[in-house]
Structure 1
Amino acid sequence: MNAIASVRDALTRNMRQSGILIAFVAIVVLFAALNDSFLSPGNLTNLVLQYSYILILAIGMVMVIIAGQIDLSVGSVVALSGAVSAAVVIREGMPWWAGVAAALLVGLLVGIWQGFWVAYVGIPGFIVTLAGMLLFRGLTFLVLDNRSLSPFGGTYYDIANGFLNGWLGGYGYDVFTLVIFGIAVVGYAVSQWRSRQGKIAYQQSVESLPMFALKLVVVAAVVMWFGYQLSTSRGLPVVLIILAVLIIAYTLVTQKSVFGRHIYAVGGNRHAAELSGVSVRKINFWVFVNMGVLASVAGVVFSSRMNGAQPSAGEMFELDAIAACFIGGASTTGGIGRVGGAMIGGLIMAVMSNGMQLMGVPQSMQQVIKGLVLLLAVAFDIWNKKRAAVAR
């Protein structure tokens, strides 16, 4: 009976801590039950290709929100960076890498511009980026001369539409894709084991060894199943590799680096951070520089996916990125949030959009349903957190 009670308590605690993850699983199960093709290899591949740029934006946005700021300009920066890249590659006939470099330079300059006004002039980020949303959209129209530019073709097109496959052969599935996912599972297991040992060394509480092993088995099974589905479709998407590298890098930055800890300190209590010797101005400045660069990365991915640049590209992207962060557990007051949570929030939005499109739900009704589901998902997470606080 004690063992059963221990397992029940562990499950309850995990549910309280992972409310949004449970909501995500429930949404996936719902759409899978309503549409047989939802979890098909082809549709899972399309999910990766169609929504990767929102997840890239969410990585940068969650850092901005943790610092207690907001960025409303990222959709316009996506459009501007894509427009500049198209002008360089399509209009001027330069190599694909020159277009990518030009787009990244645009994002860097945008981040420096906005970071200066926020950090050193003292204008609230909301106002600076609202002005930036208008400014960079206008510049996009100027760069494109109010017309679309297409197609990119070649290597640039493959950034968001290309696949790595056939390197190790195939037997109805791509072996290379499975190997990469297998390496990812091993890496995750090793990192979790080291984290567990570190907590034990510092006499912190950890889950029982059987629960730890069960978690690893479940994660490994889900990841390898997803990898197998991709391997039977078109192989490993290039953009998934880009996204995975960004997620790993920024998870390490936010959780393991001094810069990451300072971001949390500034967002949690700006005055206390200043008294502790944290340079609040530098933190805010580099947070916006980072957001500008990631927005340009998303601009490259989106323009590659669309195989061109349009003046209206990126509209409402900022709201999708912000919603992904808040759904994933970020606090509106700053100081709280994780890259992993933002990814789950972004996936919830992607799954809902894709699932409703497959079902043929009208666009107007999609907006209504999406708003209600997002509200319920956040309410469920808040309810779980309150239960956890009462339990303590």
Structure 2
Amino acid sequence: MTKTVPPQEGQTPPNADFTPTPAGQSGSGSMRELLRSNLRTSGIYVAFVAIVALFAFLTDGTLLSAGNITNLVLQYSYILVLAIGMVIVIIAGHIDLSVGSVVALTGAVSAVLVIQQGWPWWGGALAAIAVGLAVGAWHGFWVAYVGIPAFIVTLAGMLLFRGLTLQVLDNVSLSPFPAEYREVASGFLNGLLGGYGYDAFTLLIGGVAVAGYAISGWRSRAARVRYGQPVESLALFIAKVIAVGVVVMAFAWQLANARGLPIVLIILGVLAIAYGLITKNTVFGRQVYAIGGNLSAATLSGVKVRAVNFWIFVNMGFLSAVAGIIYSSRSNGAQPAAGEMFELDAIAAAFIGGAAVTGGVGTVVGAMVGGLIMAVMSNGMSLLGVDQSIQSVVKGLVLLLAVAFDVYNKRRAGASR
């Protein structure tokens, strides 16, 4: 006698006929689901463009000037690096409150070795990364293998590593770094393709980035078509690629007419591409989403939850060290108070960029856009002479609204089932 097992929710019965929905011919319900699933991501891009347009108008175009755009990249790059790691932590359902202290500690270690001990600049950078990996392993052990909530572990880490920073620096600032170290955050690639009155190499890199985006988007769209999933119309896809291309090339043009391509932007671009691929196209990335989406189901599916959680925090320690190197290079020294409130900026970037407070949702690109929104608001308000206290109020309200939007979407989705 054969026992019939009812299909689980969201699964197709084994002997049921299944006909994939033709691309571009989805029913109204499928298209509604497509629009609803993309609302968070699309909304953040629209919000970013609107905020840039608003501050560009209020500052009479100063926000989008070549010099100011270059300064935006240099001043907020370390927050974007932290946001990449933080969004992965949040997707898995955790939080990390210690990254600001780790930025300070890794910068302090690098400064002591390079400035006081005479190490080469790259030796100090490698030592900082080693410290960041050790810190990440420390957090990962307590969270993954002991079972203490990440909030408590990293709160303790915030205090512990801030104290260690004071010990390493003996409560005094150290400066200056050698010129090679300062190039990490303040250097530029300029004139590599000859003199044209602008930096042609920067424009070339911008064109390559646009081409990469178009190819990646086309492959993703083709994959969805093969599996019968709803996709946007071809005209809409082309319009989106053109819009992104115009924005990227305008950005590249401004950089090309300033000081060229910042080295830190190359570092940031490599990290964004690498982690975008890791989260989307690797087993580890899918396991991170599975743990944050449904821990019990992930465990029953054979995901090694402890190992994944451990490496999530090791990765966060690594990226905190990278941010520490960039920040100390940018400030040309190490200070005991370095990195204060950086964790809040990184968390805000992840949530504004579409990460869910309950885990399982978020993207690297979204987190970076969220960080750019915070950067543009801070820079725009500074150009307008807005008091620092008012800036904090505005950023706090934006964060609150972003989380409220996430909660609203979840309630709406639950009510429609």
TM-score by shorter chain over 0.5:
yes
Indicate yes or no: 2:52 matched with 1:28.
Answer: yes
Q: Of 162, 165, 174, which aligns to 1:137?
A: 162
Q: Report the Cα distance in structure 1 between the residues aligned to 2:39 and 2:285, rounded to whole angstroms.
A: 27
- Higher Rg of the two aligned structures: 2
1:314 maps to what in 2?
A: 339
Q: Report the Cα distance in structure 1 between the residues aligned to 2:86 and 2:96, rounded to whole angstroms.
A: 7
1:51 maps to what in 2?
A: 76
1:146 maps to what in 2?
A: 171
Query: What 5-or-longer segments of structure 1 have no aligned partner?
Result: 1-5
Q: Go from structure 1 to structure 2 and tell me whether the alpha carbon gap of 1:202 and 1:103 turns closer, same or farther (over 3 Å shift).
A: same
Indicate yes or no: 2:145 matched with 1:116.
Answer: no
Aligned partners of 2:110 and 2:128 also within 8 Å? yes
Post-superposition CA distance 1:149-203 (Å, at most 9, x none):
0011311100000000101023221101001111111111111111111111222
Aligned partners of 1:328 and 1:337 also within 8 Å? yes
Q: TM-score, normalising length from structure 1?
A: 0.94
Aligned to 1:38, the other structure's residue is in SS state: helix
Q: Of 351, 354, 372, which aligns to 1:326?
A: 351
Amino acid at match of 1:21: Y
Deviation at 1:375, TM superposition (A): 2.9
Aligned partners of 1:329 and 1:336 also within 8 Å? yes
Indicate yes or no: 2:301 matched with 1:252.
Answer: no
Deviation at 1:378, TM superposition (A): 4.5
Deviation at 1:296, TM superposition (A): 0.4
Q: Report the Cα distance in structure 2 between the residues aligned to 1:268 and 1:380, rounded to whole angstroms.
A: 18
Post-superposition CA distance 1:29-87 (Å, at most 9, x none):
11001002111000000000000100100111111111111111000000000000001
Q: Of 19, 24, 33, which aligns to 2:43?
A: 19
Indicate yes or no: 2:214 matched with 1:189.
Answer: yes
Amino acid at match of 1:268: G
Q: TM-score, normalising length from structure 2?
A: 0.88
Q: Report the Cα distance in structure 2 between the residues aligned to 1:171 and 1:133, rounded to whole angstroms.
A: 49
Q: Report the Cα distance in structure 2 between the residues aligned to 1:192 and 1:353, rounded to whole angstroms.
A: 31
1:287 maps to what in 2?
A: 312
Deviation at 1:122, TM superposition (A): 0.9
Deviation at 1:344, TM superposition (A): 1.1
Aligned to 1:151, the other structure's residue is in SS state: coil
Amino acid at match of 1:314: G
Q: Of 64, 76, 84, which aligns to 2:109?
A: 84
Q: Of 77, 84, 90, which aligns to 1:65?
A: 90
Post-superposition CA distance 1:5-29 (Å, at most 9, x none):
x9xx899766565222211111111
Q: Report the Cα distance in structure 2 between the residues aligned to 1:387 and 1:213, rounded to whole angstroms.
A: 31
1:217 maps to what in 2?
A: 242
Indicate yes or no: 2:294 matched with 1:277.
Answer: no
Q: Report the Cα distance in structure 2 between the residues aligned to 1:29 and 1:391, rounded to whole angstroms.
A: 35
Aligned partners of 1:66 and 1:337 also within 8 Å? yes
2:364 maps to what in 1?
A: 339
Query: How many residues get paired?
Result: 386
Deviation at 1:373, TM superposition (A): 3.1
Q: Report the Cα distance in structure 2 between the residues aligned to 1:70 and 1:389, rounded to whole angstroms.
A: 25
Deviation at 1:369, TM superposition (A): 2.0
Q: Of 200, 204, 218, which aligns to 1:179?
A: 204
Q: Report the Cα distance in structure 2 between the residues aligned to 1:251 and 1:54, rounded to whole angstroms.
A: 17
Q: Report the Cα distance in structure 1 between the residues aligned to 2:324 and 2:108, rounded to whole angstroms.
A: 9
Q: Which moved more, 1:380-389 or 1:244-253?
A: 380-389
Indicate yes or no: 2:95 matched with 1:99.
Answer: no
Aligned to 2:123, the other structure's residue is in SS state: helix
Aligned partners of 1:19 and 1:380 also within 8 Å? no
Q: Report the Cα distance in structure 1 between the residues aligned to 2:416 and 2:67, rounded to whole angstroms.
A: 44
Q: Report the Cα distance in structure 2 between the residues aligned to 1:364 and 1:223, rounded to whole angstroms.
A: 33
Aligned partners of 1:16 and 1:388 also within 8 Å? no
Q: Which moved more, 1:200-209 or 1:220-229?
A: 200-209
Aligned partners of 1:19 and 1:381 also within 8 Å? no
Q: Go from structure 1 to structure 2 and tell me whether the alpha carbon gap of 1:283 and 1:349 turns closer, same or farther (over 3 Å shift).
A: same
1:162 maps to what in 2?
A: 187
Aligned to 2:63, the other structure's residue is in SS state: coil
2:262 maps to what in 1?
A: 237
Q: Report the Cα distance in structure 1 between the residues aligned to 2:65 and 2:351, rounded to whole angstroms.
A: 29
Q: Report the Cα distance in structure 2 between the residues aligned to 1:289 and 1:373, rounded to whole angstroms.
A: 30
Q: Report the Cα distance in structure 2 between the residues aligned to 1:377 and 1:26, rounded to whole angstroms.
A: 15
Aligned partners of 1:80 and 1:136 also within 8 Å? yes
Deviation at 1:372, TM superposition (A): 2.2
Aligned partners of 2:109 and 2:128 also within 8 Å? yes
Q: Which moved more, 1:370-379 or 1:120-129?
A: 370-379
Q: Report the Cα distance in structure 2 between the residues aligned to 1:225 and 1:380, rounded to whole angstroms.
A: 31
